[in-house]
Amino acid sequence: MKAFVFPGQGAQFPGMGKALYEENPEAKALFEKANEVLGFRITDIMFDGTAEELKQTKVTQPAIFLHSVVLAKTTPNFNPDMVAGHSLGEFSALVANGTLAFEDGLKLVYQRAMAMQEACEINPSTMAAILGLPDEKVEEICASITDEIVVPANYNCPGQLVISGSNKGIEIACEKMKEAGAKRALPLPVGGAFHSPLMEPAREKLQKAIESTTFNTPSCPVYQNVSTTAVSDVDQIKSNLIAQLTAPVKWTQSVQNMVKDGATEFVECGPGKVLQGLVKKIHSEAEVSGL
């Protein structure tokens, strides 16, 4: 069985999507539609902008979503048996399996980006990658810090967990992780504490937007970050998507469940190769490739 997986923030690069735009008329039409919906020419920043310009949350999220979704929509015989997306990538996955219309997905991603940006400004906060410690140890250290907010945020693959929280909380946690034997405890260059309780203001805004958007019955199940299991029920998809902003991304567990349900081939649909690497670390026998 073939699973299509969609990357999240951090996969962007200058020039992303340009060849697709120039070589495929259908892709060009979708990119132009996106410029119209967003009210600014995001394609100019994607194709000719600097890495710095691409790093702004309000640009990064719709740019990665667009690259992923346009690839999926212009691939002949695109017919996944299951889909999943890492954080932001979950929105791309939901357009790819027909749950969300292209324009609705794009609008939600842009609203999500703006809401997250605002939440970051309300509570200055950050994230850090912890390498070489068992998940249980990372969870235990996070739980031991009670006067600051620090939580596990991204279960990327065994031995690689990203934590999220207040600046002070992350600083304390990184020290404790190193003392416990982590190979690295590395603060990340992100705008805020994504997938933590500090994203609550963004979750409330996104909830309103999601509730007023039409969701259709998907063509195949989505393995969501929050539940990690196959979901096809529209109401369930919505509530998992709302919960996602303040809950951890359980990527390791999602991939394990996809394998358990028969996935043998994983195709990464979008910029970069991050997910191909993670899938291989989670299940070394999986076949991985990119579109």
Report the distance separating Cα 253 and Cα 156, nearest Å: 9
Report the distance separating Cα 3 and Cα 255, nearest Å: 10
Answer yes or no: 232 catalytic: no
Q: How many CB atoms lie within 10 A of CB 57?
A: 21
Of 181-190, 210-219, 252-261, the poorest mean pLDDT is in 181-190
Half-sphere exposure of 24 (CA within 13 A, CB side): 17
* Ramachandran area for residue 98 (φ above 0: left; ψ -120 to 50: alpha; else beta): left
Answer yes or no: pTM beyond 0.75: yes
Q: Counting beta carbons within 10 angstroms of the beta carbon of residue 210, is it exposed (0 to 12), middle (13 to 18) or buried (19 or more)?
A: buried
201 in Cβ contact with 118 (< 8 Å): yes
86, 195, 227, 254: which one is catalytic? 195
The candidate with the shortest Cα–Cα distance to 102, out of 37, 24, 7, is 37
Residue 72 has pLDDT above 90, yes or no: yes
For residues 117-129, give the mean pLDDT: 89
Residue 121 has pLDDT above 80, yes or no: yes
Q: What is the pLDDT of residue 31?
A: 97
Q: What is the pLDDT of residues 249-291, one digit of tens each?
A: 999 999 999 999 999 999 999 999 999 999 999 999 999 999 8
87, 92, 164, 196: which one is catalytic? 87
Report the distance separating Cα 100 and Cα 210, nearest Å: 10
Answer yes or no: 86 catalytic: no
Return mean pLDDT, the chain. Answer: 95
Return the amino acid letter for 27.
A
84 in Cβ contact with 5 (< 8 Å): yes
* Ramachandran area for residue 225 (φ above 0: left; ψ -120 to 50: alpha; else beta): alpha
Report the distance separating Cα 246 and Cα 235, nearest Å: 19
Q: What percent of the chain has pLDDT over 70?
A: 100
Residue 189 has pLDDT above 80, yes or no: no
Q: What is the pLDDT of residue 122?
A: 85
Report the distance separating Cα 216 and Cα 94, nearest Å: 10
Q: What is the pLDDT of residue 209?
A: 95
pLDDT level of residue 57 (50, 70, 90 thresholds): confident
More confidently predicted of 119 and 232? 232
Report the distance separating Cα 169 and Cα 149, nearest Å: 6
280 in Cβ contact with 286 (< 8 Å): yes
Return the CA Rg of the chain. Answer: 18
pLDDT level of residue 55 (50, 70, 90 thresholds): confident
Q: How many CB atoms lie within 10 A of CB 220?
A: 20
Where b means 16+ CB within 10 Å and e means fewer, 5-25 reads bbbbbbbbeeebbeebbeebe
Report the distance separating Cα 182 and Cα 220, nearest Å: 39
